[in-house]
Chain A
Amino acid sequence: MTPSEQEVLDRLELRRRKPAKFRDSRVTMAHGAGGKASLSLVEGLIAPALGIAELDDAARVDGLALTTDSFVVKPIRFPGGSIGELAVNGTVNDLAVSGARALALTLSLVLEEGLPAEDLRAEVEAVAAAAEAAGVAVVGGDTKVVERGRCDSMYVCTTGIGRVDGRARLSPSSLQPGDRVLVSGSIGDHGVAIMLARGEFELGAPVESDTRSLWPAVDALLDAAGDSLRCLRDATRGGVATVLNELARSSGLAMVVREARVPVQAAVAGACEILGIDPMYVANEGKLVAVVAPAAAERALDALRAVPGCEEAAEIGEVIAEPPGMVLAETAFGGRRVVDTLVGDPLPRIC
């Protein structure tokens, strides 16, 4: 007798809940895209080899938060930002969504032989300006140069430490059915800005990267919601959809997103429509996802909307109990569907 659809689905979910294995014979671009392939690399190879039990945006060491991030974005300058600005904000934001205010950063540069000095100078200045805006000091670093063609202009790596804020009680394990899911503004701006800046598509649209420090948003949320603020994530590679999947997986609960409530700029929606990409999977560099207890949701949303750059913050869904580990969407058309993690990303080297 053939098994029923439900039996097949149940068996499948059981399999999916197992930790990802790294079984590929070579690294492909998919491993860098923040989707399932990246997960297999981190969960299946690196974390077990190093004995890292808990994967988070930043690690906790003696009351401090510590994180590191590399930036390989192509092109290095794009509307709304550049690799230097991204490198500061990316690390500051990984700390911020861990409830920590950045104290200091180090900066490593890998430079390609032949890089124009003015490009390098512009990026060092961009690092300085972004650090000042974020209120963080760059206290050290390293430089390396490789032969022409061995790297694309420049790669940047930043490492940051921060002090965990006393108000923060953030953990995906504190999620409860009924909790509300907020985003801090319109989604997909960064990914689409990069895509258009590459000039591979004959599309022109006034879209700028949203790169910015998220600490002011986190600070406002902690103030407004306190320990009703369950968890924060910055929705970078893989976008909001990937972040929600991570939260569903680590909490063992489910999420439902009301698609019609997700803020997307018209130009971003248009570009995504033409290219067949879902903005829910497009990278952001200055947007966070917050999960808040229902009683504090409205307060948190008001506080968020008062922060510059977060005026379009919205409640996009809620935490539900079933089906465990999954993200569902109520489509704008009135149907429902799964919002799964992507295997790879159609847009590599976005940050």
Chain B
Amino acid sequence: MKFVDEFRDPDLGRIVATQIVATVEPGRHYKVMEVCGGHTHTIYKYGVDDLLPPNVELVHGPGCPVCVIPMGRVDDAIAIARRPGVVFTCFGDMLRVPGGTETLLDAKAQGADVRMVYSPLDALRIARENADREVVFLAIGFETTAPSTALTLVRAKRERLANFSVMCNHVMILPPLRALLESPDLRLDGFIGPGHVCTVIGARPFEFVAADYGKPVVISGFEPLDVLQSVHMVLRQVAEGRCEVENQYTRVVPPEGNPAALRVMQEVFALRPHFEWRGLGFISHSALKLSEGYADFDAERRYEVPGVRVADPKACQCGEVLKGVIKPWECKVFGTACTPERPIGTCMVSSEGACAAYYNYGRFSRGEKRLAAAE
């Protein structure tokens, strides 16, 4: 595949790996956090870890949109999905996320009309084709997917589609990142920044990480070579005593982001005063709701939902995994009570979740891996 295979070239990978070895001090341990779940997925799927020296550790961050949805919100979604006449649409990952007692997939098996879509525009099409049904789209995601929800709503309003609404769960990456940086129990040498979020908001909003907290940030693409090169760029900043926001993903991320996307988000969304994040608790000004101009399309206003906060199961350590405090395998229920077949925590559901990525791709002897890397 043109423009993809180039970024998966094993020979170039080996060259960057050699450069990394030459950049790090042998006796020092380095911890670099990839903020975005997309990067976590890439790292495990391609075995990027195998090309790193043993003293460079990648720590998984909070940027998995499915992982941060709290159980109470899933219950609200199920309550809407169960209403007669409703066609409930969402991305595939959300189907298996456990609520307080069940998942959307369970509700579907019991007769709720729950449909998987690949784009909010698919949900809009279903609404157009089923005028006698009420179609609800469960919107999730960071700034990456928020513009597509916003555009869909602009279109729905223009077409006066009265049978369409959105349950908005869009969140923003900077507030949890700031919370993470404030936390005293984390020791990190730098960050791999979320490339796709930055296509929308640009690289500049990350400058506070370098300026106020003294941590290097490299905005990164999602192919294995992108991630490996970004790790090298972070380590080079550390080695040279620099601390700034660098953009590895220049082929996609402009410094100012995407002004058109930001404008439509501004029009369609408003800031929530606070929002609960799975495992992280309430974070102020961290999520979006529909603005007054789009109130008619707000599923939370249209339908009565329980709106009850459901405490995370006691054994679940999703919060610590999302903060990078523990590795997936260090969670008490990892792989035993919590598996991809029967997930307790959200991190085990989404392909971008650290636990699912480690369980599905990374679950074998590290000792062997190190040997293979040394060959």
Residues of chain A touching chain B, judged by Cβ–Cβ distance below 8 Å, are 2, 5-6, 8-9, 11-12, 15, 23, 25-30, 36-37, 40, 200-201, 266, 269-270, 273, 275-276, 323, 326, 328, 331-338, 340, 343-344, 346
Contacts and interface: CB of A to CB of B under 8 A. Distances in A.
B249 interface: no
Contact of B360 (A2, A6, A25, A338): A338
B307 interface: no
B46 A30 contact: no
Given A5-B366, A333-B47, A336-B47, 15 more contacts: A9-B364, A12-B336, A26-B110, A200-B118, A200-B122, A273-B4, A328-B364, A331-B224, A332-B10, A333-B48, A334-B47, A336-B369, A337-B46, A337-B361, A340-B360
Contacts of B105: 28-30
Contacts of B359: 340
A336 B10 contact: no
A8 to B, nearest CB: 5
B92 A346 contact: yes
A295 to B, nearest CB: 26
A27 B109 contact: yes
Contacts of B4: 273
B18 to A, nearest CB: 12
A270 B50 CA distance: 26
B8 A11 contact: no
Contacts of B157: none
A28 B10 CA distance: 40
Contacts of B369: 336
A334 B13 contact: yes
A337 B47 contact: yes
Interface stretch (B131-139, B229-237, B327-335): B327-335
Interface majority SS (helix, strand, loop, mixed), chain B: helix
Interface in B297-342: 327, 329-330, 334-336, 340-342
Contacts of B92: 346
Contacts of A6: 365-367
B44 interface: yes
Contacts of A30: 105
Contact of B329 (A9, A25, A40, A343): A9
B47 A5 contact: no
A94 to B, nearest CB: 26
B351 interface: yes
A208 to B, nearest CB: 20
A42 B360 CA distance: 22
A29 B184 CA distance: 45
Contacts of B360: 338, 340
A227 B363 CA distance: 34
Contacts of A25: 106
Nearest to A7: B329
A344 B8 CA distance: 28
A12 B359 CA distance: 10
B372 interface: yes
A273 B365 contact: no
Given A37-B341, A332-B10, A340-B360, A269 B1 contact: yes
Nearest to B359: A340
Given A5-B329, A37-B341, A323-B364, A334 B336 contact: no
A332 B369 CA distance: 15
18 contacts: A8-B330, A8-B335, A9-B365, A15-B335, A23-B342, A36-B341, A334-B13, A334-B14, A335-B48, A337-B44, A337-B362, A338-B362, A338-B363, A340-B360, A340-B363, A343-B341, A344-B96, A346-B116
A166 to B, nearest CB: 40
Contact of B46 (A270, A333, A340): A333
Interface string B77-116: 0000000000000001000100000000110111000001
A11 B362 CA distance: 15
B351 A276 contact: yes
Contacts of B50: 334-336
B36 to A, nearest CB: 15
Nearest to A328: B364
Contacts of A343: 96, 340-341
Contacts of B209: none
A34 to B, nearest CB: 14
Contacts of B225: 333
Contacts of A5: 327, 329, 366
A154 B216 CA distance: 60
Nearest to B105: A28
A197 B238 CA distance: 52
A333 B336 CA distance: 31
A50 B341 CA distance: 25
A337 B360 CA distance: 8
A15 B46 contact: no
B200 interface: no
A225 B330 CA distance: 47
A25 B363 CA distance: 29
B10 A334 contact: yes
Query: Can you list the 7 inter-chain pairs with the closest CB atoms, starting with the nearest?
Result: A335-B47, A335-B50, A12-B335, A334-B10, A337-B361, A333-B46, A26-B109
Contact of A15 (B108, B109, B336): B336
Contacts of B224: 331, 333, 335
A338 B361 contact: yes
B47 A28 contact: no
B140 interface: no
B198 interface: no
B130 to A, nearest CB: 15
B78 to A, nearest CB: 14
A269 B334 CA distance: 32
Given A9-B329, A323-B365, A343-B341, A331 B45 contact: yes
Contacts of B96: 343-344
Contacts of A11: 335-336
Contacts of A336: 47, 50, 364, 369, 372
A275 B109 contact: no
B143 interface: no
Nearest to B122: A200
B243 interface: no
Contacts of B118: 200-201, 275
B1 A12 contact: no
A253 to B, nearest CB: 14
